[in-house]
Amino acid sequence: MKKILSAALAILLVSLGLYLGAQQLDSSSGGSASSKKDLIIYNWGDYIDPDLITKFEKQTGYHVIYETFDSNEAMYTKIKQGGTAYDLAVPSDYMITKLRRDNLLDKIDTSRLSNFKYIGKEFLHKSFDEKNEYSVPYFWGTLGIVYNDRYVKKGEIKSWNDLWKKKYQGQILLVDSARDIMGMSLVSMGYSMNDTNSAHLKVAKAKLDKIGKNVKAIVADELKMYMVQNEAWIGVTYSGEAATMMDQDSHIHYVVPAQGSNLWFDNIVIPKTCKNKEAAYKFINFMLEPKNAAQNAEYIGYSTPNTAAQKLLPKSVREDKQFYGIGKQRVVTRQCRRSRIWKFIGICQAARCRNTMTSFWSSRCMPVTS
């Protein structure tokens, strides 16, 4: 019996020793500490120069885990669910308002960002973050129309209403954004892109029903590829996407209709789920470094709010009024309000099917009252 007890005790001691040894090895090799070296970023697809992520990792020793989304609404749902502890995210202006309202963001202490001084004053104190407490400007731009002059005469498209012409049947690509496409319809009738009047929304929805035959697909990042490959004649997209297309094909042009458009902003935020604030602040400051911001702007094609970075861009880029002519075009900043428009957008986003028109313009996409 004593031999059995001795053997059992020996087994227990060996097991305990192995467990403690494993714990020590795990701790020394990263284990719980490794999570402190991870930085989880949630961003739009193809919206950062990969070389900058590599550079940041080498400079700081942090490991970047990079996940992407294709719409503000998808991003909002994921953050609200809280399944992944994102340290940073890059929502658009109106979505920042919603994230703040739902208490999903932490405040940002800009005194910890030595490079925040490079952000132009015209990009601060916006309606979605008046005190600059919750976000840091990343990129900005406009919504407009790209067209291929192989199929559409130069200067032929001047108005949003041109998109409803029968001769463009099956030749238009729309960016995958219920918010912006609804705004396009509103402004085509002389209303504000931020209009929340129920009657106006119904009329705008009815007008969108009529464009269905002209639309070939509703896409996101793929829109650039399809336009460059001559898969469609016309696209409704953002200025940065247009810049990339124009670089690849001189037959593609970008126009902001005279009726007006929206001026949008994408900003970096720190979600409540953040587990590594130290790394989050370091990354934001890293991206605000003028050289890095300029490199990122050249890679992405969008307009940087970093005034020092703008000076590092080629003259042909920084003096192009299509992309750096803020205040020169008839544009209005997108807003988000607690109103009918938000419920409308939510229903449309849930109803739409990425590459078909049927469900996007379904009867379910009707304005509902607050």
Span 178-201, average pLDDT: 92
Give 130-177 pLDDT, tens digit per residue.
999 999 999 999 999 999 999 999 999 999 999 999 999 999 999 988
Provide φ and ψ at 255, rounded to 5°.
Answer: -140, 140
In this prediction, residues 5-23 reach a mean pLDDT of 58
DSSP assignments along 52-71, one per residue: HHHHHHHHH--EEEEEEESS
DSSP annotation string for 68-127: EESSHHHHHHHHHHT-S--SEE--BHHHHHHHHHTT-EE---GGG-TTGGGB-GGGSSBT
Q: Identify the band that residue 11 occupies on the pLDDT scale cut at 50, 70 and 90.
A: low
Give per-residue pLDDT as tens, 272-302: 999 999 999 999 999 999 999 999 999 998 8
- Predicted confidence band of residue 223 (pLDDT cuts 50, 70, 90): very high
Work out the pLDDT band at 355, boundaries 50, 70, 90.
very low
Which domains does the chain carry?
36-140+265-328 (3.40.190.10), 141-263+332-351 (3.40.190.10)
pLDDT digits (tens, 9 = 90+) for 327-351: 444 444 444 433 333 333 333 333 3
Do residues 41 and 283 touch, judged by C-beta distance below 8 A? yes
Predicted confidence (pLDDT) at residue 27 exceeds the cutoff of 50:
no
Asked whether residue 270 carries a pLDDT value surpassing 60, the answer given is yes
pLDDT at 206 over 80: yes
Confidence check: pLDDT of 28 > 90: no
Q: 239: helix, coil or strand?
A: helix
Which letter does DSSP use for residue 132 in this model? S
Residue 240 has pLDDT above 70, yes or no: yes
> What per-residue confidence (pLDDT) applies to 15?
61
- The per-residue pLDDT for 262 is 83
Residue that the structure tokens 């400079």 belong to: 59
User: Quick one: pLDDT at residue 71?
Assistant: 87
Token look-up 């070939």 returns 216
**Residue with more model confidence, 228 or 363:** 228
What's the pLDDT at 12?
62
pLDDT at residue 337, rounded to an integer: 34
pLDDT reported for residue 16: 58
- Taking only the tens place, the pLDDT of each residue in 86-114 is 999 999 999 999 999 999 999 999 999 99
pLDDT of res. 220: 84
> For 38-52, 228-242, 312-326, which range has the lowest pLDDT when averaged over its residues?
312-326
What pLDDT does 129 receive? 96
pLDDT score of 139 = 96
- Secondary structure (3-state) at 133: coil
What pLDDT was estimated at residue 48?
A: 97
pLDDT band at 268 (very low <50, low <70, confident <90, very high): very high
252 three-class SS:
strand
Average per-residue pLDDT for the chain = 83
